[in-house]
Amino acid sequence: MEKLSNKALGKVIFFSVFGLFALFAGIAKADQVYTFNEDLSSTINLDFSQTQAVLINGKAFIANNSYSSAVVSAIIANPTKNIINARIDANSVIYSGNTILYYVSNNNGARWQQMNPGYTYTLDATGNQLRWKAVLIRNNLWDQSAYLDSVLITYTTGITIQASQALVAINDPEGLTRSVLNSLGIGFSAGNSANNNYAGANQNNSGSTGSVLGATIYTAGKKSAGSGSATIVRAPGQTEIYEIMGGKKHLIPTMDIFYNYGFTDEMIQNISAKNLAKYPRVKLLMSAGNKNSTYYLTEGGMIRLVPRKDVFDSYGDRNEDIIEVSKKEFNFYPRNPDYRWNEAISDTDGGSKNGFNG
C-alpha cells in the first residue's frame, strides 16, 4: 500500500476535522423541540405570589367570590438557547358562562403572550426562561367554576443567548405582582373555597379539553383601550364600568369585552357620580388593525364612519381624541352607514355641534 505524503495526509486530517466541526456546528445550530407536562396534582412548579386560583384534588378553580383567578407557574425551563416558539395544550372543563385564557412567557413573565390551545406561536420576545399562565373567568359569581387540571407545553429553542439577556428577578414579590396586575389584569383575588361550587373537584377528568379564542391587548398607535395605562372606575350603585384614558371616559360595553381586555374586578376603583360626570366621553375610535378609518360613537352606542378628518375637526374634536379599541369591541357596535353628516351641522349643544349624537 502506497504511503500518503505528509502534504496529502495533512489535507486528509484537515478535511476530516473540518467535516466533524461542520457536523457538530450543524447539530448545535439546529432547533430543538422539548415538552413539559404540568399536572396540577403537584404544585411544586407554581408561583403562589401570583396564583389566586383554588387548588382542590389536582384541579384549579376560580376563587370564592371572584370573577377571575389565575394559575401562574414559576420558571419551568431554562435552556441555554432562546425559546423561539411554543404551544400550549390544556386538559380542562369549561362550563357555560366561563372562559379560560392561556399565556406563555419566555422571559420570566416580563412579557406574556396570549395563546389559543392547540396552536404553535412564534414568541415575540427574546428569552430562555419559560413560564405559563392560565386565567379562569366567569360572567357571574353564581356560575359554576371552570377548572383546569393539566397543561402540556411544547417549545422550540434556537439561537444561543448570553446569560446577560436573561431577566433579573425582582426581589419585591408584591411589586412584581402589582406590575403584572397593571399590565395584564391579573387580580389579587383570594378566597375561602368552603362556600363555592367546585363541581368536578372529586372527578377524574381524563379527556375533556377546553379551548377559548381570546383577544390581544392592543397597545400600539394611539391611546388604546385595554393598554394597562388607564384607570378602571365605576360609580357606586351603577353597573357601567369606564376606562379613564387621556382625560376622557370610555364606557366598556359588556363584561365579556371587559375580561377580553385582560381586566379583572379587582382593578375597578370607586368614583363618585359627580366626579365621573366631569370626564367627557370618548367619541372617536378606530378598530385595531385598521387605522385608516375613524368612527364616531354616538351616545346611543352606534358607530358612524367619519368620511374626512375635516369633518370631526369642524366639531371641535382632535386627532389625539381618537382611541383604538379591540376588534371584539368594534364589532359589538351597530353601524349607521347611511348617515348624512351635512344634515346635522345646524344643531349645537353648548357651543359644540351635536350632529354626531344618536
Give dist(CA 301, CA 65) in Å, integer: 31
pTM above 0.75, yes or no: no
Higher pLDDT, 34 or 5: 34
Confidence grade of residue 180 (pLDDT, cut at 50, 70, 90): very low
CATH of 29-195, one of 3.90.1520.10, 1.10.540.10, 2.60.120.260, 3.30.1330.60: 2.60.120.260
Q: Is the pLDDT of residue 226 over 80?
A: no
Give 311-358 pLDDT, tens digit per residue.
666 666 677 788 888 888 988 888 876 555 444 433 333 444 444 444
Q: How much of the chain exceeds pLDDT 70, in percent?
A: 63
Report the candidate in 85, 82, 166, 79 with the shortest Cα–Cα distance to residue 120.
85
pLDDT of res. 306: 82
CA count, 13 A, side-chain hemisphere, 289? 9
What is the rounded average pLDDT of the residues 284-290? 84
pLDDT of res. 267: 85
Query: CA of 161: how far to CAs of 63, 80, 131, in Å?
Result: 39, 7, 18
What is the rounded average pLDDT of the residues 297-311? 80
Give dist(CA 134, CA 214) in Å, integer: 12
Report the candidate in 316, 262, 333 with the shortest Cα–Cα distance to residue 99.
262
pLDDT of res. 302: 87
Report the candidate in 251, 195, 236 with the shortest Cα–Cα distance to residue 66.
195
Residue with cell 376563587: 63
Residue with cell 448545535: 28
- What's the chain's average pLDDT? 73
Q: Is the pLDDT of residue 190 over 90?
A: no
End-to-end CA distance of the chain: 100
Give dist(CA 239, CA 108) in Å, integer: 36
Which residues of the chain does CATH 2.60.120.260 include?
A: 29-195
DSSP secondary structure letters along 211-252: ---------SSSEETTSSSSEEEE-TT---EEEEETTEEEEE
Give dist(CA 358, CA 355) in Å, integer: 8
Confidence grade of residue 103 (pLDDT, cut at 50, 70, 90): very high
Higher pLDDT, 216 or 110: 110
Give 116-151 pLDDT, tens digit per residue.
888 888 888 889 999 999 999 998 888 899 999 999
